[in-house]
Structure 1
Amino acid sequence: MRIDKFLKLTNVIKRRTVANEVATDGSIFVNGKSVKPSYSIKVGDVITVKMWNYEKTVRVLQIPSKQIGKSDSDNYVELISYKTIDVMDEIREETSEDIF
């Protein structure tokens, strides 16, 4: 199953188009490597999603065959970590890298 579809079906990302865009931008990583939206997900993969103001890491437990409810998502993905990102800190880091 494609990673963009998997993220949508398991409710990690609410819309497939958003998952597709985030992957295209290089902000979805599987086992530490940036992947494209067409990447074929496998059980045991560790997925890190870096979006606007957060970073979420999950482990694939099962691959669903159809859309699942939010209460069932724990059967398909295990949340490893979730942290918010201060957008202003990111901007400051990028700006300081550009200066030097």
Structure 2
Amino acid sequence: MRLDKFLKVSRIIKRRTVAKEVADKGRIEINGRVAKSSTDLSVGDKITIHFAAKDSTFEVLNLQDTTKKNDAELMYREL
């Protein structure tokens, strides 16, 4: 699954276009390497997002094309 789609479906970032912009500016790393929005994710990957004031790190637990709001939190674990 693409990085931008995962961030949208898991509700870490609300819109796919915003996720794409953030990734294309080099503010997202996967397993310590800068990632583009089209980077493919696998279960177990660690995503670090560099926001303005803080960094957030997540581990991918599950990949789903669609999910309900309650199940979105089961797709990742915050580290």
With normalisation by structure 1, the TM-score equals 0.74
Greater relative contact order: 1 or 2 (C-alpha under 8 angstroms, separation 6 or more)? Answer: 2
Go from structure 1 to structure 2 and tell me whether the alpha carbon gap of 1:68 and 1:52 turns closer, same or farther (over 3 Å shift). farther
**After superposition, where does 1:30-69 map in structure 2 within 5 Å?**
30-69=30-69
Cα distance in 2 for residues equivalent to 1:46 and 1:58: 6
Structure 2: segments with no counterpart, 5+ residues: none
Cα distance in 1 for residues equivalent to 2:68 and 2:56: 19
Structure 1: segments with no counterpart, 5+ residues: 81-100
Compare the two structures and name the one with the higher helix fraction.
1
Q: Percent identity?
A: 41
Bigger drift between 52-61 and 13-22 goes to 52-61
Q: Quick check: 1:12 aligned with 2:8?
A: no
Name the amino acid aligned to 1:76: M
Note the C-alpha offset of 1:67.
3.7
**Which portions of structure 1, spanning 4 or more consecutive aligned residues, are displaced by more than 4 angstroms?**
none
RMSD over aligned CA atoms reads: 1.1
* Structure 1 partner of 2:27: 27
Cα distance in 2 for residues equivalent to 1:34 and 1:5: 17
